[in-house]
Amino acid sequence: MSDPATPQPSVATPEQRAAIQSLTLRSAAAIAIAAVASRLSIDLPAGAAQDVAGALIDLITTLGLVGVAVGRTRARGPIV
């Protein structure tokens, strides 16, 4: 039996997971990157498309958050 004091990991349903963590989104990005690399005759090492896709999604998310922060800062300042 499990110890009640030991925290049990929770399993998130697909509705609770963020879209950015979706394997479908990452897989689609990896397929697109692999297709572009193939079209440009670039030979990617195994797993490189997945790594590039993850980095690209993280970059887009970070830039989006920076944009939101800048927009909120400008909205709170004086209107000139």
The residue that leads in pLDDT, 22 or 19, is 22
Two tokens, residue 14 = 């697909």
Q: Residue 47: left (phi > 0), alpha (psi -120 to 50), or beta?
A: left
Predicted pLDDT of residue 69: 87
Q: Tell me the C-alpha distance between 34 and 4, whole Å.
A: 47
Question: How many Å apart are CA 60 and CA 33, to the nearest integer?
Answer: 15
pTM beyond 0.75, yes or no: no
Higher pLDDT, 67 or 2: 67
Per-residue pLDDT, averaged over 40-47, amounts to 89
CA–CA distance, 42 with 45 (Å, rounded to integer): 10
